[in-house]
Amino acid sequence: MEFYRSHVLVCGSADRKAQDMESLINEFEIKLKEQGLNNEIKVIKTGSLGLFDMEPVVIVYPEGAYYANVKKADVSEIVSEHLLKGRIVERLLYKKQTQTGPDNLDKLQFYKKQTRIAMKNCGAIDPTSIDEYLAMDGYKALEKAITTMTPSEVIEEVKNSGLRGRGGSGFPTANKWSFAASVDADQKYVICNADEGDLGAFMDRGIIEGDPHSIIEAMIIAGYAIGGTKGYIYCRIEYPLAIERFQLAIKQAQDYGLLGNNIMETGFSFDIELRLGAGAYVCGEETALIASIEGQRGEPRLKPPFPPIKGLNGKPTVLNNVETLSNIPQIILKGADWYSSYGTEKCKGTKVYALGGKIMNTGLVEVPMGTTLREIIYDIGGGIPGGKKLKGVQTSGGFVPVDKIDMPMDFDSMSSIGTMLGSGGLIVMDEDDCMVDMARFLMEFMVEESCGKCTACRIGTTRMLELLEDICEGRGKEEDIDQLYKLAGDVKKASFCGLGQFAPNPVIYTIDHFRNEYEEHINNKKCPAGHCDIN
């Protein structure tokens, strides 16, 4: 075993800064070798720590110095001053860092209110190394499950934890598992839904890129619990790094005997295949996703029967999204009581949010269920740039007006105010945003992504978009608002699947809370926010 006196973590996400990370790592290796430190200090490329605006981030341990927006030209100074002479480079420290130390991250504004369970290893380990995952108690939950627990005990532990699906519906995870386990079948499947397609959502991407083995481990545990031997990961093709990480993690788990036949010599066998989605938003719906894996057109199917009873190839199938699965190893390893100590009475654990839009700190945030939107925006997100006023927040399942930001963020509280928590995308809007144009933009997305199977969604969303375009471009009529509202209700009631049922939500929410903006566009031919180009 090799020992190093210091570890240099280069943290970042798979965006335009990815090349910057690679150049930083190469430069560190060159400069460390020049100073004769290459055998004393290890450089590790990790996933993102969540604070995207500060990336690439370099953290030096054991000091815990958090260097932000590091450039290739800064590497020589970090090596010569900090790593050689032991003097922290103050000018490169993240401006919010007032002191260093191994546990310093918890003291930074962006992190101090966060609780990392799903993202426990993101930014802390090399996601391409199964050995680093093992060093962080990786696959211990699997060992515990298949060597000391019965399948029914595993399901009971998940049930007692209170874990609910993080894909948007909030359906109890253990219920899906128990339904599938109760069916007598010669084959059962576990599917990971990594086809994240909601606008503003990138939670699953961050988890996959930073900790792919947690998903692999959870799927094996789920397979053991329901009596399944085959798993599929369905990942959108727009996530090339996530795909690469999954492919490597699957191979490593197979090489270590953690996937395949007779896992840990228990007689239990399970294997996983990766399937790529072509970017169709509707394939985030579970039956459309299953149809796609089967090689058919990605369209939703009539339910019941539900997938846990009759899913892939007509067999019982458990389908969970990435964030849901990422909680499973920690629940099994640390217990249901530990997990359920976080969150609210009816919504246990934590929730990962993708924070974007008009906000100082964009990135990934993981907080206990029930944390208010005000805390997320102001205490963690740093507030609105330029001192602008908050107008509202578009979630991946609805809209939260500014007067409701002190409501607890959980499935039930959001439903009580007529909106949805959704999968976790949060787009913050300020006083300069036009709510009519926002509704138009979102409806344009829904029209583009409709699979066209049902008339209500195919024709209804198109007509709604036409009305919104007329209003935004100065051709709107007074009766258009009521027509839009009625049409939205009809589409919501008559659509076949969740895409069509939720597509009208932005129109309904914006008319409910910002009807005056619609009236200004129509009656005065003026956009109150000065956004729309009305002729």
Tell me the CA end-to-end span of the chain in Å, nearest whole number.
71
Average predicted confidence (pLDDT) for the chain: 93
From CA 8, how far away is CA 1, in angstroms rounded? Answer: 18
DSSP state letter for 274? E
pLDDT (0 to 100) of residue 281: 87
Alpha helices in 428-504 (DSSP H): 435-449, 455-472, 479-494, 498-502
From CA 83, how far away is CA 79, in angstroms rounded? Answer: 5
pLDDT higher than threshold 60 for residue 1 = no
Q: Name every residue whose Cβ is closer than 8 Å to that of residue 42 and which is 6 or more positions away in sequence.
A: 2, 4, 6, 7, 8
pLDDT digits (tens, 9 = 90+) for 440-463: 999 999 999 888 888 999 999 999
From CA 457, how far away is CA 494, in angstroms rounded? Answer: 8
Range 99-117 average pLDDT: 80
Which residues on adjacent β-strands are paired with residue 273? 232
From CA 81, how far away is CA 60, in angstroms rounded? Answer: 12
User: What would you measure as the largest C-alpha separation in the chain, in angstroms?
Assistant: 76
Share of the chain above pLDDT 70, in %: 97
25 close to 17: Cβ distance less than 8 angstroms: no
Coil, helix or strand at residue 65: strand
pLDDT digits (tens, 9 = 90+) for 350-383: 999 999 999 999 999 999 999 999 999 999 999 9
From CA 329, how far away is CA 392, in angstroms rounded? Answer: 35
CA distances from 385 to 362, 365, 395, 413, 434 (A): 11, 18, 19, 28, 17
Percentages of the chain per state (helix, strand, coil), in multiples of 5: 45, 15, 40
pLDDT higher than threshold 60 for residue 417 = yes
From CA 461, how far away is CA 491, in angstroms rounded? Answer: 7
From CA 479, how far away is CA 402, in angstroms rounded? Answer: 27
CA-based radius of gyration for the chain: 24
pLDDT (0 to 100) of residue 244: 96
Range 407-431 average pLDDT: 90
pLDDT higher than threshold 60 for residue 16 = no
Neighbours of 1 (CB within 10 A): 2
User: Encoding tokens for residue 179?
Assistant: 């339904």
> Which of 19-23, 71-75, 208-212, 260-264 is predicted least confidently?
19-23
Instruction: Name the band, by pLDDT with cuts 50, 70 and 90, for residue 496.
Output: confident
pLDDT (0 to 100) of residue 258: 98
Please provide the DSSP assignment of 281-336 as one string.
Answer: GGGGSHHHHHHHHTTS------SSSPTTTS-GGGS-EEEEEHHHHHHHHHHHHH-H
Which residues on adjacent β-strands are paired with residue 368? 350
From CA 85, how far away is CA 108, in angstroms rounded? Answer: 26
Could you tell me the strand order of the sheet in which 350-357 lies? Answer: 363-368, 350-357, 425-430, 390-395, 398-401
Neighbours of 513 (CB within 10 A): 18
139 φψ region: left (φ > 0), alpha (ψ -120 to 50), beta (else): left
pLDDT digits (tens, 9 = 90+) for 272-309: 999 999 888 899 899 999 999 999 999 999 899 999 99
Please, what sign has the CA dihedral across residues 209, 214, 220, 222? Answer: negative
pLDDT (0 to 100) of residue 20: 77
pLDDT digits (tens, 9 = 90+) for 230-260: 999 999 999 999 999 999 999 999 999 999 9
CA distances from 121 to 135, 197, 406 (A): 11, 24, 30
CA distances from 66 to 70, 117, 400, 499 (A): 10, 21, 34, 42
Q: Which H or E element spans position 104?
A: none
Q: What does residue 172 show for φ and ψ, rounded to 5 degrees?
A: -55, 125
Provide the whole-model pTM: 0.94
pLDDT (0 to 100) of residue 17: 60
User: Encoding tokens for residue 490?
Assistant: 């009809």
CA distances from 482 to 489, 508, 511, 519 (A): 11, 11, 9, 11
pLDDT (0 to 100) of residue 276: 96
pLDDT digits (tens, 9 = 90+) for 71-107: 999 999 999 999 999 999 999 999 776 666 556 677 8
pLDDT (0 to 100) of residue 397: 73
CB-count exposure of residue 175 (10 Å: 0-12, 13-18, 19+)? middle
Q: Name every residue whose Cβ is closer than 8 Å to that of residue 105 and which is 6 or more positions away in sequence.
A: 49, 59, 64, 66, 111
Find tokens 């450039």 and name the residue: 71
